[in-house]
Structure 1
Amino acid sequence: MDSQKKYIQLYHSIADRIKKGDFSVGDKLPTEQDFAQEYGFSRQTVRQALSKLEADKIIYKIQGSGSFISDSVLSIKRTMHIAVITTYISTYIFPSILRGIETVATSAGYSILLKATNNSIAKEHSILENISVHDVDGVIVEGTKTALPNPNLSFYRSLADSNVPLVFVNGYYPELLETKRHNILYVVTDDYQGSYDLTSDLIRKGHTSIGGIFKSDDIQGIRRFSGYIDALVNNDIPVDDNHILWFNTETKFGIQQQLSNSCLPKECTAIVCYNDEITLQALESINYQNQTVTALRSFDGTISSQQCSLNFFSLPHPKEALGLLATKKLIHLINGEDEKSAILPWEDN
């Protein structure tokens, strides 16, 4: 664990002890040396943690006397703020998800601190580094590149260990669930089943050469790919690597170029696309090249069949319902109630 993560971990640990009442207003904290010995960290790490506690007005320092608990901790038990961290804010399905979150949060008296990572691990790191237990009572978060190893998991673990519950939406980090923390949950769509059903529908309509375009760096893409593969295998249709295109966050606007260099649109009669943003790119390429594709299937329900010249269907995303449910579960966790993760069916599944 690098020094940055160590001081954040220590910050949350001390703040949690204050939150639990181990120290009262005006109490003097142990010295830097005492904390260093207790936690096994360097004095530099302890000093960084205490500086962040001071910056957040949880403690104050008196030169030559030490660090003391500030009277601001009287309100630390409930801030009435919820942090919402999503990959994007104002585009695609995200406004509807946020509307669901806001509906429940505001009715319960909470205000929202909204942040966007732009699906950047570095941006996620910066946001998490600046969230303190003094700022929020809970966090709703859409993970960043959830199919890849993530260096920011220690921040999430530290928040959870400080009794700040986390509810992930759309995607989550499987590693965080391995420890079975009671206050880390997810609310997601059934990506595997959705893709299985879309692919099976094409097979029932007589398609036997079905391509796929999937996202490689988030867990939704992997689960949708898995459903697609299983539907083919269970219907005795061979899987052809040449009929599958992969993209990631950085290459998502290059689908047309990929298709132009691929045999997929020449050899397949149908394609299952990762989502509607990818479908629009695929459709433009197919229309331009006049290929053999006659049917498209997709996710999120932002394109109507009237907008598409091919046989088309997109599973509507339960956007607002997902935001509503995630926020209800988070507030229950904040209130000390038991909750479980949820997998939502697609609206017209």
Structure 2
Amino acid sequence: MECFFVNGTKYSKVKNWIKSEILCGTFESKQKIPSETELMERFNYSRHTIRLALGELVSEGWLYKEQGAGTYVSERTETEIKAPTTPNKRNIAIIVTYISDYIFPSIIRGAESVLSQEGYQVSLFSTNNDHENERKILETIIAQRFDGVIVEPTKSAISNPNIIYYLQLEALKIPYVMINAAYDELEPVSVLLDDVKGGYIQANHLIGLGHRNIIGFFKTDDLQGLKRMKGYLKAMRENGVPINPKHIVTYSTGEKMSKPIKGLETIIKKSSEVPTGIVCYNDELALKLIDVLRQNNLRVPEDLSIIGFDDSFFADISEVKLTTVRHPKNELGEMAATKIIQLVEGKSNQKAVGTMDESFHFEPTIVHRNSIKEMTKNLQLPLSYSN
């Protein structure tokens, strides 16, 4: 299994821009590209940097020069660079937001085990949850004509500037399966956990144990966070529990190390009524918030109950064993691998604009440990969750 990370020098930014324009069809075969002077003005780079970028694109077959006339786009067949392969093996790219962090190694292991067993070669890419990185990776996958792609969308709750690359995958008949979240406009085959129900059962569990003043922490540049917040709000409303807007803390990827911590400190120090329960976007955040509570002389679960999400290794390493919602990490990876193999081998269908027909949703369940205290018994809860 190969792993790839993206970075960018000045000349590589010029290269990537030109390749992007070619892959998206802005620069067509045999079309003249902007001159060196025009590129210098566009990027505010030196002529040496521009020439270095153009020279590499010529040597790689993307462009060709005509003496005294300029630089032109090569025929598409000349720019199709095959992926480094093992003979007779098909190649699957796995794109995740992170490779070695949190639950992602388990997802990757699950997918890689199925793909390897079926004779596929796996190349692993990380976007670091950054759209620019996602773009560069998609360019590589298109240029090297991988046979299929398993991809976790980058900042899935935000309008994505890279949708055109997924359409290019479809045009080239390179199937892809999305995991953890999906770009709705593409209607892709996807393998997901029901995050709305996950957020619902988090809050419903606390409410069922007598909690009424419950804080919610949600990461909102990813769809998982928005859906978990939707489930939280649904549970509160169905149980007639008042929702305090000040007790809902939202944050982005770039704020995850600071905003939730400051939000919790503000609530416990300034609220007239200290909350009794906390719903967390994930287990990683839950552990950070437990540290904040400890620093403010509050105990879990004696003073505050807390529930996580994902049933990650974090849930069991703290001195307070964390009640959490289970994420089917290995199973999700295995299912995604099964789906992409079906698409590659023609045993399933991915229409030109995608299809949700072949998608799969896992049902979330609660893993009970000891980070929640019962407040009141025999409360009437909704009989069942409904979409």
Please tell me the TM-score bracket, short chain as reference.
0.7 to 0.9
Alpha carbons 2:106, 2:329 under 8 Å: kept: yes
Pick one of 233, 236, 243 that aligns with 1:232. 236
Pick one of 292, 295, 311 that aligns with 1:288. 295
Structure 1 position 215 matched with structure 2 position 219? yes
When residues 68 and 305 of structure 1 are mapped into structure 2, their CA distance, relative to the original with a 3 A threshold, is closer
In the TM superposition, residue 9 of structure 1 has moved relative to its aligned partner by 2.6
Query: Structure 1: how far apart are the matches of 2:81 and 2:365?
Result: 44
1:174-216 C-alpha deviation (Å, 9 max, x unpaired): 1222xxxxxx311111111011011111111000111100001
Query: Structure 1: how far apart are the matches of 2:326 and 2:201?
Result: 13
In the TM superposition, residue 3 of structure 1 has moved relative to its aligned partner by 7.6
Query: Structure 1: how far apart are the matches of 2:180 and 2:125?
Result: 16
Structure 1 position 9 matched with structure 2 position 13? no
* Equivalent residue letter for 1:8: L
Structure 1 residues without counterparts, runs of 5 or longer: 15-30, 33-41, 46-50, 178-183
Alignment of 1:88-237 (within 5 A): 88-132=98-142, 134-177=144-187, 184-237=188-241
* Equivalent residue letter for 1:281: K
When residues 144 and 53 of structure 1 are mapped into structure 2, their CA distance, relative to the original with a 3 A threshold, is farther
Alpha carbons 2:89, 2:121 under 8 Å: kept: no
In the TM superposition, residue 4 of structure 1 has moved relative to its aligned partner by 6.2
When residues 43 and 171 of structure 1 are mapped into structure 2, their CA distance, relative to the original with a 3 A threshold, is same
| TM-score, L = length of structure 1 | 0.78
SS in 2 for 1:262: helix
Query: Structure 2: how far apart are the matches of 1:162 and 1:288?
Result: 55
Cα RMSD (Å) of the superposition? 3.4
Pick one of 355, 360, 367 that aligns with 1:342. 360
1:292-311 C-alpha deviation (Å, 9 max, x unpaired): 8521111111244683548x
* Equivalent residue letter for 1:282: L
Query: Structure 1: how far apart are the matches of 2:141 and 2:26?
Result: 11
Runs of 4+ in 1 over 6 A off after TM superposition: 51-54, 59-63, 72-76
When residues 210 and 133 of structure 1 are mapped into structure 2, their CA distance, relative to the original with a 3 A threshold, is same
When residues 189 and 265 of structure 1 are mapped into structure 2, their CA distance, relative to the original with a 3 A threshold, is farther
Alpha carbons 2:236, 2:243 under 8 Å: kept: yes
Alignment of 1:34-45 (within 5 A): 43-44=32-33
Aligned length: 307
Tell me the equivalent position of 1:244. Answer: 248
SS in 2 for 1:156: helix
Alpha carbons 2:323, 2:366 under 8 Å: kept: no
Of Structure 1 and Structure 2, which has the larger fraction of its residues in helix? 1
